[in-house]
Structure 1
Amino acid sequence: MASSQNLPGVSPPTPVPASVASPPKKQPYPFYLGGVAATIAASITHPLDLTKVRLQASGDKRMIESLKKTVRTAGVRGLFDGITGTWLRQMSYSMCRFWAYDESKKLIGAGKDAPAWKLATAGSMAGGIAGFIGNPGEIVMVRLQGDFAKPPEKRFNYKHCFDALFRIVREEGVSGLGRGVGPNVFRAVLMNASQLASYDFFKAELLKTKYFDDNIMCHFTASFAAGTVATTICSPADVLKSRIMNASGPGSNSTVAVIRQSMQNEGAMFMFKGWLPAWTRLQPTTILIFLTLEQLRNGVDWSRKQGYTLF
C-alpha cells in the first residue's frame, strides 16, 4: 500500500519542532522574592510583633494593655520602634529561608504533589540554614523592639540596626552575634517545617477539591491554616529565643538556666506566654507573606510573557 508521501496531492506531514513538542522549562523565580514579600508583610504587622516581643521579654501581661502602654509612653510612632531591625531580619533570615526551601525541595525531590513529610523535611533544612545565617538580624530586631519596655538604666539605646550590629561586636565580641543561636535555629526549623511546608500542603490539598482554583481565595485559606499551625508549634522556642536574646550579662544566654528560672517563676505554661499576640501577629503576617509572594510571582510571569524581565 502506497504511503501518503507518495500519493499525488498529499503533502508529507510537517515535522513538529522540538520547541513545540516539549515547551521550554520554566525559569526559576528570583531568590529574593521571599525576602521582599516578608519585608512588606512585617512592616505592616510590626506593631503586633513589637507587642509580642515585649510580652515575652517583659512584665507586661496583656496585649491591649501593652499596646496602650507603648502609645502612652512613646506615642503612635512608638508602635514602630525597631522597624530597621525588622527589615534587617527579613532581608537576611526570610530571604534565606525561602531560597533554601526551594533548593531543599529540589534536593530531596519534593515536587508539586509531594507528601507532607517531604515538605516538612525541606522546611526543616531551610530553617536550620536560615536560622543560623539570620541570627544576628534576629538579635538586633528583638533588642530594638524590646528596649523601651525596660527601665531606662537597662536599655541598649541603639540608634538603628547597623548601630546595634557594630555595638554588639564592639561591646560583646563577635560571639555576641551568636547569642541564642540554638533556640533560634530550633525555632526556625519548627517555623519553616510548619509554616512553609503546611502552606504548600494545604494549597495542594485545596486545589484537589472542586471548590478552589489557584487564586487569591486558595492562597488566603492555605496561609490562614498555615499560620495557626506555625504559631502553636513555634511558641515554646519563640519565648525562649526572645528571653535569651533580650538578656545581657554573664550566664544569661544559657537555655537551661532560662528554662529553669521560667519554670520556677511561672510554671510550664510560660512556653505559651504571648500565644494570642503571636497568633494575632503571625496570622496576618503569614497571609500577607504568601499573598504578596504569589502576586510577585504573577508579576514575574507577566513581565516574562511581555518579553522583558523586571525581576
Structure 2
Amino acid sequence: MGWRNFVEGGLASIVAGSVTHPLDLIKVRMQLQGETAAPALAGVSHSPSSGTYCTGTLSMGRQVVKTEGLKALYSGVSASILRQVLYSSTRLGLYDVLKAQMQGKNENTLPVHKKIAAGLAAGAIGAAVGCPADVAMVRMQADGRLPAFQRRNYTGVGDALIRMVRQEGLASLWTGSAPTVQRAMVVTASQLATYDQIKDYLISKHLVQDGIATHITASISAGFVTSVASNPIDVIKTRIMNMEVKPGQKPPYTGAVDCAIKTIKKEGPMALYKGFIPTVTRQGPFAVVLFVTLEQVKALLKDH
C-alpha cells in the first residue's frame, strides 16, 4: 500500500536525522563563516562563537561545546524532527510511488534515468512541504553563533514558526524556498538513485547477497555522491534562510544567484564548499542509518 512508503520513510528519516544532528549543526555553522554579520552595537562585544573562525569539523564542534555547552549540539533538533516528518517522509514515499508508476511491464529493474527523474520530482515536492521546518531548523542551529543581543532565542520549532509568521509574515516560512527545492532535487535524485543503482548492480552481478552489508556499501556511496553534488546549493540555502531582513531595508540577498555571486566575490569559489567535511561525514552516517533502518522497517511492515 502507498501509505507504507511514507510511514517507512518518515520513521527511518527521524532516526537518521536525530543521530546525525550534531554534524548537521556543525555544517551550518561552518557554512555561515565569513558571512558579513550585522554590526555590533557600541560597547557590545561579539561572543567568541561569532568572532572566531574554525577551519575544521572538530575545532568547530569543540568551540560550540566550549562556548554554548554540550546540549548546543542539539539546537534545533525539534525542527529537525518536524522536517524529517514533512520533507523526508514525502520525498521517500513519493520516490517509491513514482518508481512504481514509471516502471514498464517489460522492465525488471528501473533504468537509472527514470530513478533520477523520480528523485527530482519527489525531492521538489518534499522540499516545498518541509521548507517551514527547514527554515526554523537553520535559524535555531545558527543562533548560538550570534552575540546575545542578536539571537532569536526560539524555544522550539512551534515558537519559531509562530514568531516568524507574526514578525515577518506567512511568506517567511518559505524563505529560501528556491534553493531549498533545488537542493532537495539534487539530494534526492543523487542519494536515492545512487543507492538503488549500486544495490541493484551488486545484487544483479551476484557480487553480494541482499543484506545489511550491501545496504551499508550502497549507503556510503550514496552519501558521498550526495555531498559532492549538493554542498554548493546547501551553502546558499543556509545563508538565505538565516539572513535577517529588517523592515525598510534591502535583504542581504535577493535570491540564490545573488547569494552565490556575493559569496564567491567576497570569499572565493571554494566558499561554496564550506562545511564539506561535516557534510560528507554526516551524509555517510545519515545514509547508512537511513537506508539500513528503512530496509528493516520495510521488512517489518511487509506482512502487515
TM-score relative to the length of structure 1: 0.86
Residue 54 in structure 1 maps to residue 55 in structure 2: no
Structure 2 unaligned blocks of 5 or more: 35-52
Residue 201 in structure 1 maps to residue 202 in structure 2: no
- Quote how far apart the aligned CAs of 1:252 are: 2.9
In the other structure, the counterpart of 1:108 is 102
8 Å CA contact 1:127–1:191 kept in 2: the answer is yes
In the other structure, the counterpart of 2:49 is none
- Give the letter for the 1:127 counterpart: G
What is the correspondence of 1:32-111 to structure 2 with a 5 Å cutoff?
Answer: 32-59=7-34, 60-61=53-54, 62-109=56-103
8 Å CA contact 1:131–1:185 kept in 2: the answer is yes
Hey, what's the Cα distance between the residues in 1 that align with 2:243 and 2:2?
Answer: 45
- Give the letter for the 1:258 counterpart: C
Instruction: Provide the identity percentage.
Output: 37
Closer/same/farther in 2, CA of residues 158 and 287 from structure 1, 3 Å limit = same
Closer/same/farther in 2, CA of residues 120 and 128 from structure 1, 3 Å limit = same
**3-state SS of paired residue (1:285):** helix
1:133-187 deviation per Cα after TM superposition (whole angstroms, max 9, x unaligned): 1111110111111110122222111000000000011111011011100000000
- Give the letter for the 1:217 counterpart: A
In the other structure, the counterpart of 2:301 is 300
8 Å CA contact 2:6–2:94 kept in 1: the answer is no
Which one scores higher on RCO, CA 8 angstroms, separation ≥ 6?
Answer: 2
- Quote how far apart the aligned CAs of 1:80 are: 1.0
In the other structure, the counterpart of 1:187 is 183
- Give the letter for the 2:139 counterpart: R
Residue 120 in structure 1 maps to residue 116 in structure 2: yes
Hey, what's the Cα distance between the residues in 2 that align with 1:163 and 1:131?
Answer: 21
> Cα RMSD between the aligned structures?
1.6
Hey, what's the Cα distance between the residues in 2 that align with 1:85 and 1:29?
Answer: 23
Of structures 1 and 2, the larger Rg is shown by 1
Hey, what's the Cα distance between the residues in 1 that align with 2:271 and 2:5?
Answer: 40
- Quote how far apart the aligned CAs of 1:218 are: 0.6
In the other structure, the counterpart of 1:12 is none
What is the correspondence of 1:278-289 to structure 2 with a 5 Å cutoff?
Answer: 278-289=279-290
Structure 1 unaligned blocks of 5 or more: 1-25
TM-score relative to the length of structure 2: 0.88
Counting matched residue pairs gives 278
8 Å CA contact 1:45–1:285 kept in 2: the answer is yes
